[in-house]
Copies of this chain bind each other. A is one copy, B any other.
Amino acid sequence: MYFPKSVRLCEVGLRDGLQNEKTLLDAEQKLFLLRGLIDAGFPVIEVGSFMSPKAVPQMKDTDDLFKALGSPAGVELRALVANLRGVQRAIDCGCTKVKLNVSASRQHNLRNINRTPEESVASFAESAELARDNGLEVSGSISMPFASPWEGTTPVEDVDSIIEAYLRVGVSEISLSDASGMAMPAQVNELCRHVREKYPQATWWLHFHNTRGLAMANILAAMDAGMTQFDSSFGGLGGCPFVPGAAGNISSEDVIHMCEGCGIETGIDLVKLMALTVNLKEMLSHSLDSYVLKAGRNEDLLKG
């Protein structure tokens, strides 16, 4: 079993987490949290998305957040975009990295937007070009590359075909996102090995939801296959788009605690993060799904 020496974590709570919350945080609260996350040492933070404020009201002030944050040193701030309009908003507010997303489920994609996943990715060409022409970095996410509620297990050929569509539009930083929380460790290990070997020109992110209690096991399985970039969410904020009330993203605190205990560097200050997540909990007025936040770190248990 292989454990890497270090990993890079992207904190996605303010995007994938907050968009599942009923409580709307205002820009001031979000900025407090973002500055705390930067101070805790996250190398990458997903600040928000540039979607229609009507569709996702929680993300309506993403532009203001980027303007207020500017370009802090040592951290990459990224945002999710869906189209040209989103990229233009990103350019206008000083965001320097955008992420596109497509569902690997053919049926899901056809029903939602009447396009195959490959057609969706091909349609990203203009957005990716506009972003790059303005000096922005572009990454691409593939949602449900392991399994989906429509097809069950996603055929590897489908994942390959979507990766190749991304590569054709010049996007080589690719996130595999288990949004439905159906990924299984053996499959994760195998698919990660497969894509790393077949597409050495690409770099990878993994995004696991803890819907069925397997997110940490899946991170281990991905690390064993050589993956080193993972999304996580403070307090485990988030949910499952297909299961109301289910657990959300893997908790950042739990991942960092595991990494510290396995000699894997993250560069993140867990104590600072835990204090910040207590603030988040107060803002949202409900309990959060972080084991370490509830039980404390291993060292907090040591008897003086």
Q: Which residues of A contact B (CB under 8 A)?
A: 1-3, 147, 149-150, 152, 180-182, 184-187, 189, 210-214, 216-217, 219-221, 224-225, 240, 242-243, 245-247, 251, 254, 257-258, 261-263, 290-292, 294-299, 301-303
Q: Which of B211, B214, B243, B299 contacts A258 (CB 8 A)?
A: B214
Determine the residue in chain B with the shortest Cβ distance to A147. B298
**3 nearest A-B residue pairs (beta carbon):** A213-B291, A184-B261, A186-B262
Are B1 and A298 in contact, with the CB atoms below 8 A? no
Distance in Å: Cβ of A290 to nearest Cβ of chain B: 8
User: Closest CB of chain B to A139's CB: distance in Å?
Assistant: 26
> A150: which B residues are within 8 A, CB to CB?
302-303
B291–A243 CB distance below 8 A:
no
- Contacting pair A258 B184 (CB below 8 A): yes
Known: A213-B292, A243-B296, A247-B294. 11 other contacts (CB 8 A): A1-B2, A1-B186, A149-B301, A185-B262, A187-B261, A212-B291, A213-B258, A217-B220, A224-B224, A243-B301, A245-B294
**Chain B residues whose CB sits within 8 angstroms of the CB of A224 once the complex forms:** 1, 224
Question: What are the residues of chain B within 8 A of A243 when measuring CB–CB?
Answer: 295-296, 301
Are B254 and A301 neighbours in the complex by a CB distance under 8 Å? no
Residue contact A246 to B295, C-beta cutoff 8 Å? yes
Asked whether, in the complex, the Cβ of B246 is within 8 Å of the Cβ of A189, the reply is no
Q: Which residue of B lies closest to A242 (CB)?
A: B301
The 11 listed contacts between A and B (C-beta, < 8 Å) are: A1-B1, A1-B221, A3-B186, A149-B301, A150-B303, A185-B261, A214-B258, A216-B216, A217-B220, A217-B258, A247-B295
**Distance, CA A39 to CA B185, complexed state (A):** 28
Q: Are A212 and B292 neighbours in the complex by a CB distance under 8 Å? A: yes
Which residues does chain B contribute within 8 Å of A257, judged by CB atoms?
Answer: 212
CB proximity of A240 to chain B, nearest CB, Å: 7
Least CB distance from A214 to B in Å reads: 6
Interface centre among A219, A263, A291, A299 (most CB of B within 10 A): A291
Q: Which chain B residues border A245 with CB–CB below 8 Å?
A: 294
Residues of chain B within 8 A (CB-CB) of A298 are 147, 152, 182, 184, 212
